[in-house]
Amino acid sequence: MNLESIKARITELRKLISYHNYRYYVLDDPEISDAEYDALYAELKELEEKYPQFFDPNSPTQKIGGPPLKEFSPFTHSLPMYSLDNGFSLKDVADFIARVKKHLPAEELEFWLEPKLDGLAVEIVYEQGQFKQGGTRGDGLVGEDVSSNLKTIKNLPLNLFPPYPAYLEVRGEVILNKKDFEHLNTEQLKKGEKPFANPRNAAAGSLRQLDPKITARRPLFFYAYGVGKVEPSSFEGKTQEELISKLKNLGLPTVPLGKKVKTLQEIESFYLELQKQRNSLPFEIDGVVIKVNSLAQQKLLGFTAKSPRFALALKFPAKQGITTLKDVLFQVGRTGVITPVALLEPLSLGGVVVSRATLHNESEIKAKDLKIGDKVLVQRAGDVIPEVVRPLKEERTGEEKEIIFPENCPVCGSKLQKSAQEVAIRCENISCPARLEASLIHFVSKKGLDIEGLGKKWIPLLMEKGLLQTPADIFRLQKEELIKLPRMGEKSASNLLQAIKRAKEKLTLDKLIYALGIRHVGEQTAKILSSHFKDLDALSQASKEELIQLKDIGPEVARSIVEFFSLKENQNLLQDLKNLGLWPQAKKETAEQNLPLTGKTFIFTGKLKSLSRAQARAKVETLGGRVVSAISSQVDFVVVGEDPGSKLAKARKLGLNIISETEFLKLIS
Ligand code: IVH
């Protein structure tokens, strides 16, 4: 290849890669596979390294971050970057509309609505469609030049699609998605570094890194919501809506979910709808931005000293707040794990009063360096339980007290154990009343026996009165005993007994397995177990080796299952449940049921002559059977090939059905 054609290929590759970046990061609709993309990228990188004379600062390869900076240089905005006035209620929106109308009497109004992204405002300059530089908002007049970092943002194009305006300042928000934020914070804690308070903070911290390579590793995204100076200014079009669509045509990602409306009612429904969606969106939003749609009207309305008169941010109720950590309580869970719980001075977060928050475990408390009496930042992310983000150390008075973990169970007093493998501290006394209470609540919970009306409300009282000690006792409750309880009338007693009866009738094996509360056995694992064992007897006799054979069951889960059934108390419970008729049998899928080997378990030992082990396994599985590698009484057929191993002797000992390869072939034919 001559230099000319090399240069042409480099240009072509840059175009192709930019286009595929756009498909992937902006449209979320890739046209080629990751492998094909990687190949294009590798080819470009190699050519650029070989022929440095064709270097281009806007090549897609420059998205990985250049050399570190000593400090950021100032970035002056050619037009000031205003911030928005905030509104907190519909009344504030009505007032805003009234103000607009006062300035523009007799004009027809339309509004452009968008979610308010909770990130960091930036401005990016493109000259002749090429990324030139970009900076943060700063004080609105001068920000910091974070060009090298902005270039690493995955969905930000370095070259715009033509036809582009000669000069464009695009404005928007740089954000970090919630899941990436969680991940980043886990990493921060692991490294012993301070977690970020929220995605906005993390995005800001990531964008203001002096080393662009660090920024490049953070999954930042950019979404445009407007422009600064544009030449020619006719590019902007007539409305906010049109402007956004023009930015989109240049290949720029724009704030999603925008909508044009006319009335206050429509603004209200958009706000309510968005608030409903808030938790399920991938990024944090903190309200709705309302803008007068017509750009001509925007110009007429103009700005006050700090904000535009044509726009308003209607905020959602805050999900973060500051309060005092009054004390720490130690709760005993059903598996005996001791969980520290923060008792907080009550505060309202996102419309809910919060007075408790989980602190997870001791190492988390250490990592966050919390003390009793601290002022703390608390948040409710999504629907989840509130959490303490961090203490405000700068507000400490010296009166704060260390959080001391108890040495003994706060309920039964037995010595707490800390295992080497895990951070948790636990009460190992399985008769600890706190553990029993939590286990019973778990037993009757929705995903377990699903006994309506029992649970937190009655279980503690029933235990206190000596009516409940094990889950089996639930099915021995009598009406005469129940009506003696305070606040329990004739009617509620009947209802409760009805609910218990119903739960018993519709009980399935997977629900019962889940309800037992075996450590590490959640809903999913319970389902897997129930599809492999015919009842609790079969499950309780399974060995660790046998359990590990099952899909998604690792050594830890297997160990905990075996341990659970080895305890005398649990064996008694099983016997009790059986006597009470709480003994569901596994339901086989109907499709599977019709297969010839459904429910049959095979094991192979020795070499097969006519087919490989993998082929034999596949054959068994397509016929509905399963193949295990550990011998046990659950095995139906032991297939013996040439030179069998020790399994054969064990099979004989267990009195299993031993068959030859020929017999096996007959069986599967
Ligand atoms: S429009 C003239 N639209 O909110 C002001 N801003 O509190 C134009 N923001 O500094 C701003 N999402 O960083 C606009 N869809 C959106 C926004 C948005 C987030 C930020 C922006 C601004 C801040 C004001």
Q: What is the DSSP string of 490-527?
A: HHHHHHHHHHHHHHHHT--HHHHHHHTT-TT--HHHHH
The pair of structure tokens assigned to 489 is 């009338």
The reply to whether ligand 1 has any atom less than 6 angstroms from the CB of 37 is: no
Cα dihedral: 594, 597, 598, 604 (round 10):
-160
Residues 6 or more apart whose Cβ sits within 8 Å of residue 77: 123, 135, 137, 140, 141, 142, 143, 169, 228
> In the predicted model, what is the mean pLDDT of residues 622-642?
87
Strands 167-176 and 220-231: antiparallel
Helices 661-668 and 613-622: crossing angle in degrees, nearest 10, is 40
Q: Which residue's alpha carbon is nearest to atom 18 within ligand 1?
A: 116
Query: How far is the centre of ligand 1, averaged over its atoms, from the C-alpha of 126 (Å)?
Result: 20
Query: How far is the centre of ligand 1, averaged over its atoms, from the C-alpha of 255 (Å)?
Result: 10
572-584 burial, b if ≥16 CB within 10 A, otherwise e?
A: ebbebbeeeebeb
Q: Which residue's alpha carbon is nearest to atom 3 within ligand 1?
A: 225
Query: How far is the centre of ligand 1, averaged over its atoms, from the C-alpha of 119 (Å)?
Result: 9
Query: How far is the centre of ligand 1, averaged over its atoms, from the C-alpha of 334 (Å)?
Result: 47
The reply to whether ligand 1 has any atom less than 6 angstroms from the CB of 313 is: yes
pLDDT band at residue 590 under the 50/70/90 scheme: very low
The answer to whether 630 and 549 have CB atoms below 8 angstroms apart is yes
The answer to whether 643 and 606 have CB atoms below 8 angstroms apart is yes
Q: Which atom of ligand 1 is nearest to the CA of 307?
A: 2
pLDDT band at residue 405 under the 50/70/90 scheme: very high
Choosing from 79, 81, 83, 84 the residue with most ligand 1 atoms within 8 A of its CB, the one to mutate for a pocket test is 84
Give yes or no: 393 in active site.
no
Q: Residue 344's closest CA among 396, 383, 379?
A: 379
* Residue whose structure tokens are 């973990």: 405
CA distance 334 to 427: 10
CA 505 to chain centre: 36
Q: Is the pLDDT of residue 521 over 90?
A: yes
The reply to whether ligand 1 has any atom less than 6 angstroms from the CB of 451 is: no
> In the predicted model, what is the mean pLDDT of residues 371-380?
92
Query: How far is the centre of ligand 1, averaged over its atoms, from the C-alpha of 83 (Å)?
Result: 7
pLDDT the model gives residue 591: 45
> In the predicted model, what is the mean pLDDT of residues 122-130?
98
The pair of structure tokens assigned to 360 is 């997870």
Q: Residue 472's closest CA among 334, 583, 580?
A: 580
Q: Which residue's alpha carbon is nearest to atom 12 within ligand 1?
A: 116
The reply to whether ligand 1 has any atom less than 6 angstroms from the CB of 123 is: no
Residue 422, strand partner residues: none
Least confident of 33-42, 410-419, 507-516: 33-42
CA angle 220, 225, 227 (to 5 degrees): 110
The reply to whether ligand 1 has any atom less than 6 angstroms from the CB of 226 is: yes
pLDDT the model gives residue 267: 98
The pair of structure tokens assigned to 401 is 């007290």
The pair of structure tokens assigned to 444 is 């009757």
The answer to whether 628 and 621 have CB atoms below 8 angstroms apart is no
pLDDT the model gives residue 53: 93
pLDDT the model gives residue 613: 84
pLDDT the model gives residue 232: 96
pTM above 0.95, yes or no: no
Q: Is the pLDDT of residue 588 over 70?
A: no
- Of the candidates 63, 116, 151, 291, the residue annotated as catalytic is 116
pLDDT the model gives residue 646: 86
The answer to whether 434 and 442 have CB atoms below 8 angstroms apart is no
pLDDT band at residue 593 under the 50/70/90 scheme: low
Domains of the chain: 3-64 (1.10.287.610), 105-260 (3.30.470.30), 319-418 (2.40.50.140), 433-505 (1.10.150.20), 509-579 (1.10.150.20), 591-668 (3.40.50.10190)
Q: Residue 282's closest CA among 260, 257, 258?
A: 257
The reply to whether ligand 1 has any atom less than 6 angstroms from the CB of 117 is: yes
> In the predicted model, what is the mean pLDDT of residues 108-135?
96
CA distance 432 to 412: 6
CA distance 346 to 216: 40
Q: Which atom of ligand 1 is nearest to the CA of 137?
A: 10
pLDDT the model gives residue 351: 66
Query: How far is the centre of ligand 1, averaged over its atoms, from the C-alpha of 226 (Å)?
Result: 9
